Amino acid sequence: MNQTLLVAIVAVGWAALGLRLYLLYRGRTSAATAWICASVAAFALAITLQIAFVHAALDSVTTLNTAGTLSNCATLLAAVTAQCALRSTVNPDVVVRPRLLWTVAAIVLMLVLFFTTPSNYAAKLASQDAPVQIPLVSAAAFVFVTGLAVLAVGLMRTAWAYRLIAERFSLRYGLLSFVLGAVCSFAYAVLRLTDMLTYQLGIDILWLRGNLLGKLFGLTTVLVLVGVLLPIAGARLGLDHLARWWRINRWYRSLHPLWKALHDEFPALTLDVPTGRNVSFRHPEHALYRRIIEIWDGRLRLRPHLDPSAAPGDGAAEAALIADGLRRRRNGVAPTDGRSAPDNRPDDPDAELDWLIAVSRALPR
């Protein structure tokens, strides 16, 4: 991975940790927030140890590949604390101790194996600038990729489940970035395990011996960083409000044909006629609710002109009923008391908007 980009990612990672700690200091305390801070700190440390001069400086005063091993330990810690953060957000009383214990056990085992078993790190280091590189093979590396694969699957499932219930735009897509980062992390673990096994068996898979794993590592790092920063930035940069306005504006515009048909017939429905088809950016919800109320008010005024023999139906039937009622009113057909007119309004309030949009889209132009 490009070292300049890596340094930039490290700087952003530590800045994200500083922001998280600031929010924690300002009183936004919760188990999830504390887990997030721990995860971001472990993630930033893991990436910092991958910087070439940091890696070389640490290895020069310790055993070779100490920096890489510690980076792997921090990566596992970042993954498990991220999963604890997501699970604690969904359920504050969730038990996360088993995941922590077996991850800590894997980290301890990695460190023991690193200091007590041999590796081919010297040969790996000598081939790092060659087109075909030698994979690092060690007992600690096997423990790392196995633990990473397991944690990646757990993080993937947890982040996806939380994404399905998240309401904020930036949080949903931040979690999606987390899911993609976990997928890439799992792929990295599987490919690295395959690389080590095939190397030991004397099988040459050249596409695994190039820069593929490094690029996959870089992509994983960027996706995880986006997942950390997007939920924070989205609320503060107005992305959540913009996304909410965009969604409500689509509903508002979809209701326009139905609203206009009723408004043209009953102009008194609206005290303040909108100047355009787009919803107010400052208060989009208010404008949408007002439009829904005006539509139902218009439908109520049209009720005496609706065909009393019509049967209740779906959105298309309601659209045809309203269009026929407008024609009957304009043609001077005598109104009724409205009691026999069909009432197609949904019983479920949550389905009301979808119903009105279906009616509006089916309304004859």
Nearby residues of 173 by Cβ (< 8 Å), 6 or more positions away: 230
d(CA 80, CA 148): 9
Half-sphere exposure of 88 (CA within 13 A, CB side): 17
Q: State whether 317 and 269 are in the same domain.
A: yes
Q: State whether 45 and 136 are in the same domain.
A: yes
Give the residue from 217, 194, 218, 101 showing the smallest Cα distance to 146: 194
Q: State whether 167 and 298 are in the same domain.
A: no
Q: Are 171 and 235 in contact (CB under 8 A)?
A: no
**Which of 237, 269, 296 is where one domain is finished?**
237
Q: State whether 207 and 325 are in the same domain.
A: no
3-class SS at 119? strand
Q: State whether 147 and 44 are in the same domain.
A: yes
Cα distance from N-terminal residue to C-terminal residue, the chain: 58
Q: Which residue has the tokens 């050249």?
A: 206
Taking the chain (365 residues) in consecutive chunks of 10 residues, what is each chunk's mean pLDDT?
A: 71 75 64 81 88 86 90 94 85 80 95 93 80 87 95 92 87 92 95 92 82 86 86 81 91 93 87 78 88 90 84 81 89 76 72 90 85
Position 357 scores a pLDDT of 93
**Which of 185, 210, 237 is where one domain is finished?**
237
Domain assignment of residue 344, given as a range: 242-362
Instruction: Give the CATH number of the domain where residue 128 resides.
Output: 1.20.1070
Q: State whether 222 and 344 are in the same domain.
A: no
Q: State whether 215 and 303 are in the same domain.
A: no
Q: State whether 196 and 267 are in the same domain.
A: no
**Which of 237, 269, 298 is where one domain is finished?**
237
Is 205 exposed, middle or buried (CB count within 10 Å of its CB: 0-12, 13-18, 19+)? exposed
Q: State whether 127 and 227 are in the same domain.
A: yes
User: Which DSSP state fits 203?
Assistant: -
Signed CA dihedral, 102, 103, 108, 112: sign only: positive
Q: State whether 60 and 143 are in the same domain.
A: yes
Nearby residues of 177 by Cβ (< 8 Å), 6 or more positions away: 223, 224, 226, 227, 230
Q: State whether 207 and 252 are in the same domain.
A: no
Signed CA dihedral, 77, 83, 86, 87: sign only: negative
Please count the structural domains in the chain. Answer: 2
Nearby residues of 82 by Cβ (< 8 Å), 6 or more positions away: 35, 36, 39, 43, 155, 178
Q: State whether 59 and 207 are in the same domain.
A: yes
The torsion of the CA quartet 86, 89, 92, 97, rounded to 10 degrees, works out to 10
Position 338 scores a pLDDT of 66
Position 50 scores a pLDDT of 86
3-class SS at 34? helix
Residue 119 — φ and ψ, nearest 5°?
Answer: -145, 170
27: left (phi over 0), alpha (psi -120 to 50) or beta: left
